[in-house]
Structure 1
Amino acid sequence: MCQIGTAAGDQRHQNAAMAEAGYKAGFDLVNLNLFAEPTFQHIEDVLLDQDVIWVHGGSVVNLLAVWRAHGLPAMLHRAWQHGVVLAGISAGSICWYMGGPTDSFGPPLRNITNALGFLPYGSGVHYDSEEDRRPLVHQLVARGELPETHCTDDGAGLVYFGTELREAVAERPGARGYIVRRDGDVASEEALPTREI
């Protein structure tokens, strides 16, 4: 597994915590840092050698800018096409979609539409824990500023095979996944059956 912490500035304490968790769980973990310089000379070789690439939260705007400067979008896409599982939380989730609401610029929330677009949907994270997110997702979808948008409560996740949504899962009771679609000039929300894991 490769952990990428670009969104939070490659914090070394986060790297250490992930390495310890990997050790305790019995799997090999590498941290890919881009600050102040890349950990590895041949980044794509490292990415292609993984089973899972996990991206932490932080600033999705900064993450995208730094990744583009280092050519990571194409490398990550090739890894995905070779069967590497791409995953993440918060900014590390939004990055795989077309975009979605973010606090990367500070308050208030703003929409970004220049994420990687591997998944052809909008992303709505922290759907139940930050009160401004749900209404903003509905507004953006209703106005056509986001496409169909897939949303998650904290503690929930969405599983895709390719670009097809297969299921919603949750690590805590009550956490759900949702789909928000445009219906004329309004947005409609569908709560997904969510399996506890």
Structure 2
Amino acid sequence: MPADTPTILATSGGIGPGRRTRLTFTALTDFAVELSGVNGRAPRICLLATAMGDDKAVLHHLTEAAQSRGFIPSHVALFPMPTVADITAHLLEHDVVWVFGGSVAGLLAMWRLHGLDAALRTAWQAGVVLTGVSAGSICWHAGGTTDSFGPQLRPVTDGLGFVPYANGVHYDSEDQRRPLLHELVGGGVLPAAYATDDGAGLLYRGTEFVEAVAEKGGAGAYFVDARDGAAVETALDVRRL
């Protein structure tokens, strides 16, 4: 059964190095599956690695990780052409769509070119849980900070906007992330933002933020808004999974 309301879990986690496989899905991804309400059968998860150029090795390792977790995986690749004829119908057959990190700018361009943006909105509204890490977190928001263009972070302001906030990822592990998000929100380039340390996630029901969760001890989450032309950051309560 699908989630009872449109649901997004936007994270800086959910995946890590595996012991018997190259990658393994972790507690944040398990929580996304739980949110889907699936019961009595293996969860169906659609993997999107557009932000990595649909790299076949990446897709192999993600598929292997999903299988080892007991999920039934599929993927949609867009290079050199879409691998399914009806992307919307394919997504609607799944409980969760999981999006890998990489170039969020490239991801957004390719999704729009092939109509995956509209397909994802339809799936989200139908109760398919949307989740992912890094670029797979920023994409659901109005924008955020990205290294899509090079090592010096820049803003991305054309996210899908399923939720009306900006997003900061890897907040505790990449030095440029926090100050740039503050600058962009304070200057009005981005709207108010939610941000996550590595290992934390943000749960949205519909367009509203519900709670911050974490799979890693000490991982924090934050709300950043503009007051009198300056950014103000507030630490959020975080529920440990």
Say whether residues 1:15 and 2:59 are aligned partners. Answer: yes
Amino acid at match of 2:138: I
Return 5+ residue gaps in structure 2 as ranges: 1-44
Q: Which has the higher contact order (CA 8 A, sep 6+)?
A: 2
CA distance in 2, matches of 1:15, 1:46: 17
Structure 2 counterpart of 1:158: 202
Say whether residues 1:36 and 2:80 are aligned partners. Answer: yes
Structure 2 counterpart of 1:176: 220
Say whether residues 1:47 and 2:95 are aligned partners. Answer: no
Correspondent of 2:183 among 133, 139, 148 = 139
Amino acid at match of 1:149: A
Correspondent of 1:26 among 35, 58, 70 = 70
Indicate the SS of the match to 1:29.
Answer: strand
Q: 1:107 offset after TM fit, Å? A: 2.7
Q: 1:100 offset after TM fit, Å? A: 0.9
Indicate the SS of the match to 1:118.
Answer: coil
Q: 1:12 offset after TM fit, Å? A: 1.4
Runs of 4+ with deviation above 6 angstroms: none
Indicate the SS of the match to 2:72.
Answer: coil
Q: C-alpha deviations, 1:74-121, integer Å up to 9, x for none?
A: 111011110111111111111100001111000311111111111100
CA distance in 2, matches of 1:28, 1:148: 36
Structure 2 counterpart of 1:188: 232
Structure 1 counterpart of 2:137: 93
Correspondent of 1:120 among 134, 147, 164 = 164
Correspondent of 1:69 among 97, 110, 113 = 113
Correspondent of 2:151 among 77, 84, 107 = 107
CA distance in 2, matches of 1:76, 1:137: 26
CA distance in 2, matches of 1:24, 1:100: 32
TM-score (norm 2): 0.80
Q: CA RMSD in A?
A: 0.9
Amino acid at match of 1:35: F
CA distance in 1, matches of 2:65, 2:104: 24
Across the two proteins, how many residue pairs are aligned to each other?
Answer: 197
Q: 1:129 offset after TM fit, Å? A: 0.6
Structure 1 counterpart of 2:21: none
Say whether residues 1:84 and 2:128 are aligned partners. Answer: yes
Correspondent of 2:104 among 50, 53, 60 = 60
